[in-house]
């Protein structure tokens, strides 16, 4: 992906007319095109080191051309895009290296330790928390360890319903390989089209269908990790009592403890039926209470999300109609995937509960609209940045009894920071028996320094999250951006544990320096 | 509990006549009464250290009398009982200290660090893997840190359906406190009557109803831990992507990383209905395939267990009738707990699947028999040891496609080690989408040195588990007994991580020395 925007430039979506009208009315239109033909810093790696890498992997798997380096620069947060749009590609790696196997990765790490090269594992490049912006000071160079060659389906166990995948597989590639076996992973984050299996694991990803299929960390039954200290292979059973669950220490480790070289996941049979539908609720509170009832009754659909009044008003859950007319209240999307009989039974049970609680069934049209546009939002952001609208998302999670406070506090913090006229939208994207996530979308008129403008607002929102006792992130990982708040969330003893593990596995600190570990 | 047997001596169960007849026929009866009035080693703690502890906690909370020390000696494995029955109580603590609060624990740990005292957290004392047999060499003394005073229900959140419990609460005590709030934890391991909340967490316990309520590690949403380095408080949300899940590093840490001083768990409403029933299957394979079908269809009852042919033949799932006539095949117990409507719906759906797969429904009588005797087995072991029968259990877990091999290998290893006539029984006690646990019960005629006899057999079975790629324990933790195999299971890099965490949190190594960390 180009560092200035999301996805395939050919697939870029223009701002829908209604949205453009809304934006013009609220913020005015202010053309801010991205700077083109940005110069990359010259690759700073000594020739003998490049030769050594070429000896290790083959010359064709060590790239230093500008185009390859450009495409491996940073991730996809709005700050990342703003920097690139302003012509700053200073985080470009010195070289992009492409190991083909676990042993290649091991050899590469040994070489990196020997020559003190920083190594940033790269899967889909979709980090929105600075997970690819490693510290380079003090290193002999910075390598992007691109997993693009590691895209095999290594094993399928139809009896145990597990599959072993290589980390470089992107969402659609993994699903295609599994579909040929009649299987699915069912993991659909908004970044699905680009994000990778290794990234899902390294960041504890959660997807739009996680109510039904489970968060990615719940899907993983086994892992292989290459570390500077050797191989770590975990996954002797679905669950066990053999000490702490070290799988859960690798999940969320963001390349700072090692490079995940294979992931064994629980899979499901490809669903025969997929159906999504809409419900309208009088208020966010009413819809949230209904979600809680379903979760605590063990009656969750495969997909469930609820927009607040603001998000419903501008139709964010129906990307083709953003800015168009809305009938008010709060829009909920429910979805069911599986065998016809199971879908029918679950849908009937959920429908009975939601109807009984005062939900207004809207049929399948809103569900189809949501499903059609479910991966489009990042393209819309590009179009908004083009017209001078600062737009970004952030998310958190808490227990049900704290939801209302968290919602109010984050919203207030964002509005206070970004000023009158700021649009703050929210939806509940994931639910549990004990709580839920809150996903905010924020839009404001760009000031003179939109990067600084956003950083202040993000800090205020982050303070509000930690102040409310919630998490700094439900499904976007720590990266570099969340570290100060992550340190508060887990406290000094938690930080000390992570540093100890880091020092043990990566004593010279070559792995994604500055990422995740506070 | 007395170190020579299970539970309350007054509740001890004599061997049922049918079982006695069976034992007499197979092994002969060989009276081996436990040695009585065993001398404890004199408490080896310097008087000034005892004074210091009394200053810290109050004199009444520092006990050195023989009776208190005796009741805190070792756990409840058959080796533990054999040692105590032979008069060996050499692992008795020098003193039993009883902190009342988190701050007491913190102060105690600081004192223990200062004076290099080994500290063994004690909850219910039901470890079956040597988790209470810490190394004492090199320490100024060994303290049993008894959590008996920390038995409060600290908080209940009815909206989020969570409760915060102190670690010293035993199973029935926790359930009674929650029942007063209309809630339940639903965690019923066989040790339920004695095992504690802290122990459930520290050992990743799994219970007889875990198919419905979840393993204990899945119930925990938050933890407070006192460590020599300070307090660790975790649990900002039901789930998050804020780095590795450190809760899963505390769960299974067996007192080696810190003392768990509170646990916040997901709770459920007290079930209106509890119903258990029996099914007969032609073979273990048929029954296991049916379990797999249910798990992979998302249709698990609250309780599901399946005895193999041998276990069915002697009625182990129906403790009142052990040794009595059996109709053959394999006995499955299914149980449903919840609201009447949900129970009816789930039961109907499960019944349709099981009937379709060839299961023979036996109605509620076998279910009642199982439920009535579900916590009795440890008493039976005492009665068997009295008549010279060596009896013990061990358990493991694996993925479905490996179940048959694991079953055969462990059974063969035990039989080869213990010789002709050995009885090896097995049931599947816990099921997942991707696999299941296997729980073995072994009985053999005691030789001259039953402890050595069992240690050889246990090593052979453990080798078979690791050889088959399975886990050394599905729900009994590592303790001291499983360490060599645990080290193989997680490999040298996994071991190195645990040592690094241990060194970070407990640099002087006072916490449960020699337990869990290989």
Chain B segment 198-237 residues within 8 A of A by beta carbon are 203-206, 215, 217, 221, 225, 227, 229-234, 236-237
**Dmax (CA) of chain B:** 71
Is B423 strand, coil or helix? strand
Determine the residue of chain B that is closest to A476 in CA distance: B241
Residue A418 forms part of a structural domain: yes
pLDDT tier at A452, thresholds 50, 70, 90: very high
B312 and B328 fall within a common domain:
yes
Domain for residue B513, yes or no? Answer: no
Do residue A187 and residue A232 come from a single domain?
yes
With CA atoms as reference, the chain B residue closest to A466 would be B236
Distance from CA of B53 to the nearest CA of A (A): 26
Model confidence band, residue A6 (pLDDT cutoffs 50, 70, 90) = confident
Would the CA dihedral through B346, B349, B351, B357 be positive or negative? negative
**Mean pLDDT to the nearest integer, A219-238:** 98
The arithmetic mean of pLDDT across residues A105-128, rounded, is: 97
Domain of residue B299, CATH code: 3.30.70.3450
Of all residues in chain A, what percent carry a pLDDT higher than 70?
98
Partner residue opposite A221 with nearest CB, options B215, B227, B434: B434
The domain boundary residue, chosen from A348, A373, A398: A373
Q: A466-492 pLDDT, tens per residue?
A: 999 999 999 999 999 999 999 999 999
- The CATH number of the domain holding residue A393 is 3.30.300.330
Residue A508 lies in a domain: no
Is residue A22 situated within a structural domain?
no
Number of H helices, E strands in chain A: 18, 18
- Interchain contact, B231 vs A491, CB within 8 Å: yes
Q: Which of A159, A246, A349 is the closest to B497 by Cβ?
A: A246
- Which of B330, B353, B373 marks a domain boundary? B373
B490 in a structural domain: no
Q: In chain B, which residues have pLDDT < 50?
A: none
Q: Is residue B518 part of a domain?
A: no
Q: What is the DSSP letter of A328?
A: -
pTM equals 0.96
Per-residue pLDDT, A11: 76
The CATH number given to whatever domain includes residue A140 is: 3.30.43.10
Contacts of B294 in chain A (CB under 8 A): none
Q: Is B469 on the interface with A (CB under 8 A)?
A: yes
Strand, helix or coil at B225? strand
Say yes or no: A320 and A307 in one domain: yes
Cα→Cα distances B378→B6, B76, B77, Å: 6, 9, 10
A68 and A136 in a single domain? The answer is yes
Residue for token pair 């999301």: A6
| Cβ-Cβ contacts under 8 Å, A473 against chain B | 240-242
* Block residue for tokens 């990778």: A196
Same domain, A470 and A424: yes
Shared-domain flag, residues A355 and A382: no
Average pLDDT over chain A reads 94
pLDDT tens for B168-189 read 999 999 999 999 999 999 999 9
Q: Are residues A230 and A135 in the same domain?
A: no
Show contacts of B450-453: CB within 8 Å, 24+ apart.
Answer: B450/B82, B450/B390, B451/B79, B451/B82, B451/B83, B451/B86, B453/B390, B453/B418
Rounded Cα distance between A461 and A484, Å, is 13
User: Given this model, what pLDDT does residue A226 score?
Assistant: 98
Query: Residue B188 has what pLDDT?
Result: 95
Domain extent, residue A87, equals: 9-16+31-146
Residue A517 within a domain: no
pLDDT digits (tens, 9 = 90+) for A322-355: 666 677 899 999 999 999 999 999 999 999 999 9
Contact A492 B342 (CB under 8 A): no
Q: What is the model's pLDDT at position A509?
A: 98
Q: How far apart are CA B84 and CA B73, in angstroms?
A: 9
Question: Are B166 and B187 in a shared domain?
Answer: yes
Q: Is A44 exposed, middle or buried (0-12, 13-18, 19+ CB in 10 A)?
A: middle
The answer on A166 and A135 residing in a single domain is no
Question: Inter-chain contact B241–A474, Cβ cutoff 8 Å?
Answer: yes
pLDDT of residue B27: 87
Of residues A227, A232, A234, A223, the one with CA closest to residue A201: A223
Greater confidence (A315 vs B201) lies with: B201
* Cα within 13 Å of Cα(A486), Cβ side: 26
B161 and A434 in contact by Cβ < 8 A? yes
pLDDT tens readout for residues A74-93: 999 999 999 999 999 999 99
* A389 and A457 belong to one structural domain: yes
- Of A10, A18, A20, give the one whose Cα is nearest residue A387: A20
- Residue B296 lies inside a defined structural domain of this protein: yes
Domain endpoint, select from A305, A339, A373: A373
Give the CATH number for residue A238: 3.30.465.10
Residue B355 has a pLDDT of: 98
Q: Is B47 on the interface with A (CB under 8 A)?
A: no
ipTM of this predicted structure: 0.96
- β-bridge mates for residue A262, sequence order: A224
Q: Are residues B411 and B428 in the same domain?
A: yes
Question: pLDDT per residue over A252-262, tens digit each?
Answer: 999 999 999 99
Can B194 be counted among the known catalytic residues? no
Residue B136 and residue B176 in one domain: no
How many structural domains are present in chain B? 4
């Amino acid at each position: 992906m180009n560092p200035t925007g999301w996805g395939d430039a050919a697939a870029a979506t223009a701002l829908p007319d209604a949205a453009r009208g809304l934006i013009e009315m609220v913020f005015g239109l202010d053309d801010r095109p991205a700077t083109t033909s940005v110069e990359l810093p010259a690759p700073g790696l000594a020739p003998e080191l490049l030769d050594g890498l070429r000896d290790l992997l083959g010359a064709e798997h060590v790239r230093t051309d500008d185009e390859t380096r450009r495409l491996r620069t940073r991730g996809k947060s709005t700050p990342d895009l703003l920097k690139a749009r302003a012509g700053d590609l200073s985080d470009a790696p010195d070289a992009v290296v492409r190991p083909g196997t676990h042993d290649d990765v091991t050899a590469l790490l040994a070489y990196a330790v020997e020559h003190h090269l920083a190594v940033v594992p790269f899967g889909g490049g979709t980090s929105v928390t600075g997970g690819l912006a490693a510290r380079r000071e003090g290193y002999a160079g910075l390598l992007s360890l691109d997993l693009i060659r590691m895209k095999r389906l290594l094993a399928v166990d139809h009896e145990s319903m597990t599959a072993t995948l290589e980390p470089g597989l992107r969402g659609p590639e993994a699903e295609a390989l599994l579909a040929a076996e009649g299987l699915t992973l069912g993991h659909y984050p908004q970044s699905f089209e680009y994000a990778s299996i290794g990234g899902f694991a390294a960041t504890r990803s959660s997807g739009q269908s996680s109510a039904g299929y489970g968060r990615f960390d719940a899907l993983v039954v086994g892992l292989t990790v290459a570390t500077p200290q050797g191989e770590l292979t975990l996954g002797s059973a679905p669950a066990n009592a053999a000490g702490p669950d070290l799988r859960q220490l690798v999940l969320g480790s963001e390349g700072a403890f090692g490079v995940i070289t294979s992931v064994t996941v629980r899979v499901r049979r490809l669903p025969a039926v997929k159906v999504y539908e809409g419900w309208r609720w009088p208020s966010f509170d009413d819809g949230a209470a209904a979600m809680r009832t379903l979760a605590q009754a063990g009656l969750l659909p495969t997909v469930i999300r609820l927009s607040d009044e603001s998000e419903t008003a501008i139709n964010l859950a129906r990307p083709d109609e953003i800015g168009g007319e809305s009938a008010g209240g709060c829009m909920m999307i429910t979805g069911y995937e599986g065998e016809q009989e199971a879908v029918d039974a679950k849908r009937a049970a959920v429908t009975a509960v939601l109807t009984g609680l005062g939900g207004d069934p809207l049929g399948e049209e809103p569900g189809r609209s949501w499903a059609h546009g479910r991966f489009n939002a990042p393209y819309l952001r590009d179009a908004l940045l083009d017209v001078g609208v600062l737009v970004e998302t952030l998310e958190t999670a808490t227990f049900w009894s704290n939801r209302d406070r968290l919602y109010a506090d984050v919203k207030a913090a964002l509005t206070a920071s970004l000023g009158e006229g700021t649009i703050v939208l929210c939806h509940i994207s994931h639910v549990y028996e004990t709580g839920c996530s809150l996903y905010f979308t924020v839009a404001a008129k760009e000031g003179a320094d939109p990067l600084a403008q956003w950083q202040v607002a993000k800090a205020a929102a982050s303070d509000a999250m930690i102040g409310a006792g919630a998490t700094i992130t439900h499904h976007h990982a720590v990266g570099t951006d969340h570290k100060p708040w992550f340190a508060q969330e887990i406290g000094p003893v938690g930080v000390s544990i992570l540093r100890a593990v880091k020092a043990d596995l990566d004593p010279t600190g070559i792995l994604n320096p500055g990422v995740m570990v506070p």
